[in-house]
């Protein structure tokens, strides 16, 4: 009995210590109040589109994406639609064929242009969609076309074939160089003068990605659905980027956002951090990275 009591005591100390001293994350709303997961889901479930702004190498963000997706499915079932920056629009057919069981996992992974961290970070989302017959939208512009914009500006897209243009937002694309998320890219210091043209096109290449993702979100969303989109936080922070483009299609959309940031002390959050999204996921800087 003494040994059992001692074991229970040690487990209790370890559990309390982990919970209080080593939390893996904290969630805050835009008012700076700590939020519990269930409250987050209650807020999200009434939205039309949710943007999860992740840090691509952060395991807590990827885990949270999966948990939010699971919780959303429990609430609304097949009205849930998933979409991601990590998949390019011209790969949609391959993605559909895998989700519907027409091709094997081996064929899918060999033919898709998957990110190097797909298996650890995005495969769980794809498999969840497959298991539950959910639509998963490849929203991003094919990288070869984004590369054209980085070299030639938007003008370079005019020469694409009509077939190629199916995989990008309609031309001419909306673009505002004064939008803060694009303006910041122009303010980057330390770039040599030899790459001035590339620097001028850098925010345009970002914008063409945002515009294309917005285009494929609105194409696949309809009233009564909840669309969860996974993307790097810069694409949706401050409700700019993709969201700026999306609201051009439908200014009445109910949009909720979450961003991910790293902090030495996750108990402290600044007003500047809180401005970025409706909810902020704070993860310790010491957290293991996935790559």
Tell me whether residue 267 is in a domain.
yes
- What pLDDT, on a 0 to 100 scale, did the predictor assign at position 187? 73
Tell me whether residue 25 is in a domain.
no
The owner of tokens 């109040």 is 33
> Which residues lie closer than 8 Å to 51 by C-beta, 6 or more apart?
229, 231, 235, 236, 242, 243, 255, 256, 257, 258
> Which residues lie closer than 8 Å to 184 by C-beta, 6 or more apart?
none
Tell me whether residue 30 is in a domain.
no
Write down the pTM of the prediction.
Answer: 0.90
- Per-residue tokens: 273: 């951090």
The owner of tokens 């914009």 is 149
Tell me whether residue 124 is in a domain.
yes
Tell me whether residue 220 is in a domain.
yes
Q: How far is CA 234 from CA 5, 148, 251, in A?
A: 51, 21, 21
Domain that holds residue 95: 39-141+210-284
- pLDDT tens for each residue of the chain, 291 residues long: 554 444 444 444 444 444 556 789 999 999 999 999 999 999 999 999 999 999 999 999 999 999 999 999 999 999 999 999 999 999 999 999 999 999 999 999 999 999 999 999 999 999 999 999 999 999 999 999 999 999 999 999 999 999 999 999 999 999 999 999 999 998 765 554 445 556 789 999 999 999 999 999 999 999 999 999 999 999 999 999 999 999 999 999 999 999 999 999 999 889 888 999 999 999 999 999 999
Question: What total of structural domains would you count in the chain?
Answer: 1
Nearest to 209 by CA among 228, 249, 238, 236: 236
Tell me whether residue 149 is in a domain.
no
Tell me whether residue 21 is in a domain.
no
In degrees and rounded to multiples of 5, residue 23 shows phi and psi of: -65, 140
Please name the helix (run of DSSP H) or strand (run of DSSP E) that holds residue 52, with its range, or none.
strand 49-54
- What pLDDT, on a 0 to 100 scale, did the predictor assign at position 195? 54
CATH code assigned at 223? 3.40.50.11550
């Amino acid at each position: 009995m003494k040994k059992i009591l001692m074991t229970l005591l040690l487990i209790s100390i370890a559990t309390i210590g982990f919970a209080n001293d080593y939390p893996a994350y904290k969630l805050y709303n835009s008012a700076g109040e700590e939020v519990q997961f269930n409250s987050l889901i209650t807020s999200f479930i009434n939205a039309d589109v949710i943007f999860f702004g992740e840090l691509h190498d952060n395991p807590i963000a990827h885990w949270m994406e999966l948990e939010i997706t699971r919780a959303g499915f429990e609430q609304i079932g097949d009205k849930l639609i998933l979409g991601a920056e990590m998949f390019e629009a011209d790969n949609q057919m391959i993605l559909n064929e895998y989700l519907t069981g027409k091709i094997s996992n081996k064929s899918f992974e060999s033919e898709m242009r998957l990110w190097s961290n797909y298996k650890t970070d995005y495969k769980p989302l794809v498999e969840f969609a497959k298991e539950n017959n959910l639509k998963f939208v490849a929203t991003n512009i094919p990288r070869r076309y984004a590369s054209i914009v980085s070299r030639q500006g938007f003008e370079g897209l005019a020469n694409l074939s009509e077939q190629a243009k199916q995989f990008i937002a309609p031309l001419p694309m909306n673009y505002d160089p004064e939008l803060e998320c694009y303006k910041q890219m122009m303010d980057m210091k330390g770039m040599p003068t030899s790459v001035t043209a590339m620097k001028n096109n850098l925010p345009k290449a970002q914008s063409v990605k945002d515009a294309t993702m917005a285009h494929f979100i609105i194409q696949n969303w309809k009233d009564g659905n909840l669309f969860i989109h996974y993307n790097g936080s810069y694409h949706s922070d401050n409700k700019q980027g993709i969201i700026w483009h999306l609201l051009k299609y439908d200014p009445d959309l109910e949009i909720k956002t979450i961003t991910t940031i790293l902090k030495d002390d996750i108990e402290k959050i600044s007003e500047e951090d809180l401005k970025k999204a409706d909810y902020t996921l704070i993860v310790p800087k010491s957290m293991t990275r996935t790559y």
